[in-house]
Structure 1
Amino acid sequence: MTMLDEPAPLTAPRKGKNNIVRLVIGCGLSVACLYFVFRNIRLKDVEHALATFHWPYLIVGVLSLAVGYSARIFRWKMLLEACGPRVTTAACAGPFLASIALNNVLPFRLGDVVRALVFPTALGVTKTGATATLVLERLVDLLTLLVCLTVAASFFPKRALPASVVDIVIALSVMGSVALLGLMLLTGPIVRLTRWFATRIEPKAPAKLVVLVRAIADLVEALQSISRIRTVFAALAISFVAWAGELGLYLALMQGTGMAFFLPGGLLLMSMATIATLVPSSPGYVGPYHLAAFTAAHLMGGSSTQAMTLAILCHLGVWLPTTVAGAIVMAFNRNLFKAARNQASLAASGDTT
């Protein structure tokens, strides 16, 4: 048995307890957000609004969402090839959709963990490379959404947006930009520094610490390979296409509820609702998503009933198709998990022989 496979009786229970605390806090925040949304809403009015919704708009919106997710899958394929062997877009589609579905139903975005540590085996790519692509994806998506939110806010009267929202946007924009610039400019020196540090501590440090430092160096090196200027700008361009596809869903649902077509309003709705998923909550982003979407619809002049109906439909339109698609992939592509199990079995038998 290797050093990494040894049990950690002191840290595992503590980690499990921390996860439980985080889950309880997240569920509490979800309940609080839902209370603020529903406290002045008559459910009968929402039921009537849902019954009179023009459902063909949902079909158009879901088709637009499919275009957006196709762009995301192609972007992941491009990033994987930047740090590893060639893969096809079709091969990347299954693991990507399965991870989204797992994110939708499990806490702590565990679908991302599975995409980084389990699915790479089925694709023939390294776990380090897959993890690096996730880091860059998140940074690029965040910056794209912040640009969308900034553009949307410029069309609204001054002080129409809460000051706290503006402060959060500025803070996230600065942090995201600095992180992306750091990836493009500083990964090389960081790799050399961590490898030098690992060499210096190797004779006297615990083996686990040396392994950890080397793993960090490998991750930063993978980030260096995918954070070249051309690759980053290509990822940003594809990200705008992806979010344009998702924007089509929000605009279609706005039309279906009887709200006027207002492109900046759709950008505001999509950006606020998506950024709200960064807030700890229950699985499925229930609560913070609805509160953000409800607030954005109100800022566009929608009634409380329209805002609540739109929040429910937006969550349904984003959550249900991606969850169903990912569930179908996992049901019919057992190799996603089987390959990782086989690799783990081989590694275990190699440790014991």
Structure 2
Amino acid sequence: MSQLQKRILIGVVWLVPIVCVIWWASKQEAPRLPSDAGGIAALVGSLGLYAVATLMRAERWERILRRAGVRAKRADVYALTPIGYMGNNVLPARGGELLRTFLLGSRTEGSTKRTILGTILAERVLDAVALGIILVVLATGLLSELPAPSTTVMLIGAAVLVLLLIVAAVALLKYRERLLFVLEALKPMAQPTKQLLSSHGIALLVVSLAVWCVEASVYIAVGHAVGIELGLQDGLAVVAFTNAASLIPAAPGYIGTYDAAVIFAVNAVTNASRSAVLSYLILLRFVLFVPITVVGFVLLVVRYGGLSRVRAARQAARDEERTEHEAAAAARAETHVDTAASTA
């Protein structure tokens, strides 16, 4: 597949859900934003709750970094958390995670960028496990709204799975040495996640569940602002389902997929009107994406020198990776020479 074909495919993946959501919104009544004191207070409260959830995530990342031996300043950890969200909102492929990695790596001595990226991977693992627990325990009714797959779809899925296993087995046998080298290079990334298999990891999982409860409170408060009453169970179900849907490849800011998931989830747990659901989606978008993007951009410029500093950090990372590859290649060549000499 050529580069042009890949870009066209990515564009289709991004555009289809966006077009579907725009088409749905165009068929609804005009949204009604809160104008009374109670609605405005609920909206302000949702912003405060989301700030608390963000601070909790920053503290959790700081604990993971410390456990992994990364000597990062707490001020950097707290500043880079909204910068990461800003990057995820405006860059494709969760580019905010790389922003955090490059910027923290440039300000931290004695730690590789792979280790820092591994701590972010550990965060994602904690979030995935916490969301999985919430989905299994609280959102069973929501998942039951999904259409059951047909026998044909299940057979096709099983066939694809078997094919992937065969391809993986062939690749493992054919490229065993290269795969071992890649796994060895990725070992620093896996170490922070491996450290979660402890009492420390259980404590962080409890913190992660608490973070998602606070974020569910954000969804509940926004619902109250537009007249949609969500209980804690409903809020947890909606937040778990919508964030699970954000794993689907989408445009920056999860445009399209996230919106469709919010519409589906709210309709599944409430009898709200379409106009109210559209209002809820617009306000939720504002609360979750606009302020943290603005704050992250301001911090990026004021504290880290803007995008020029990011480019310099990326170039330094490439140079470091190139040096590591050259050293590894030289070591492998030396090993082969020694083996050939001993055989002779």
1:10 corresponds to: none
1:326 aligns with 2:296: yes
Matched with 1:180 is: none
Instruction: Provide closer, same or farther for how the CA distance between residues 340 and 165 of structure 1 changes in structure 2, counting only shifts above 3 A.
Output: farther
| Preserved CA contact (<8 Å) 2:220 2:229 | no
Contact 2:228 2:272 in 1 (8 A): yes
The offset of 1:70, in angstroms, is 0.7
Question: Which residue number corresponds to residue 133 of structure 2?
Answer: 147
Seen in structure 2, the aligned counterparts of structure 1 residues 317 and 214 have a Cα distance that, compared at 3 Å, is same
Q: 1:101 aligns with which of 86, 91, 100?
A: 86
Q: C-alpha deviations, 1:200-253, integer Å up to 9, x for none?
A: 95xxx7xxx8863431233334543x3331232122111112112212211111
Instruction: Tell me: CA distance 1:145–1:164, structure 2 relative to 1, closer, same or farther (3 Å).
Output: farther
- TM normalised by structure 2 equals 0.74
1:133-161 per-residue CA deviation (whole Å, 9 max, x = no partner) reads 1222112112212322334335x5xx884
The answer to whether the 8 Å contact 1:30/1:281 transfers is: no
What's the offset of the Cα at 1:131? 1.6
1:337 equivalent in structure 2: 310
SS at match of 2:134: helix
Aligned partner (choices 33, 41, 49) of residue 28 of structure 2: 41
Q: Which residue of 1 aligns with 2:165?
A: none
Question: In structure 2, what is the equivalent of residue 57 of structure 1?
Answer: 42
Cα distance in 1 between the residues matched to 2:46 and 2:224: 10
Task: Report percent identity of matched pairs.
Answer: 23
Q: 1:296, CA displacement in angstroms?
A: 2.0
* TM-score, normalisation: structure 1: 0.72
What are the within-5 Å matches in structure 2 for residues 73-84 of structure 1?
73-84=58-69
Query: What is the aligned counterpart of 1:235 among 185, 198, 204?
Result: 204
What does 1:167-246 correspond to in 2, within 5 Å? 201=177, 212-224=182-194, 226-246=195-215
Gaps of 5+ in 1: 1-12, 168-193
Residue 339 of structure 2 is matched in structure 1 by none
Q: Which amino acid aligns with 1:34?
A: I
When Rg is computed on C-alpha atoms for both structures, the one with the higher figure is 2
Count of paired positions:
294
1-structure distance, mates of 2:212, 2:53: 6
Q: Identify the residue that residue 337 of structure 2 maps to in structure 1.
A: none
Q: Secondary structure at the match of 1:216?
A: helix
- Of residues 27, 32, 38 in structure 1, which corresponds to 2:20? 32
Match of 2:119 among 121, 126, 133: 133
- Counterpart AA for 2:313: A
Counterpart amino acid of 1:163? L
| 1:280 aligned onto 2:249 | yes
d(CA) in 1 for partners of 2:313 and 2:189? Answer: 20
1-structure distance, mates of 2:99, 2:8:
19
Say whether the 8 Å CA contact 2:53–2:211 is kept in structure 1.
Answer: yes
- Paired AA for residue 41 in structure 1: Q
Aligned to 2:164: none
Contact 2:88 2:97 in 1 (8 A): yes
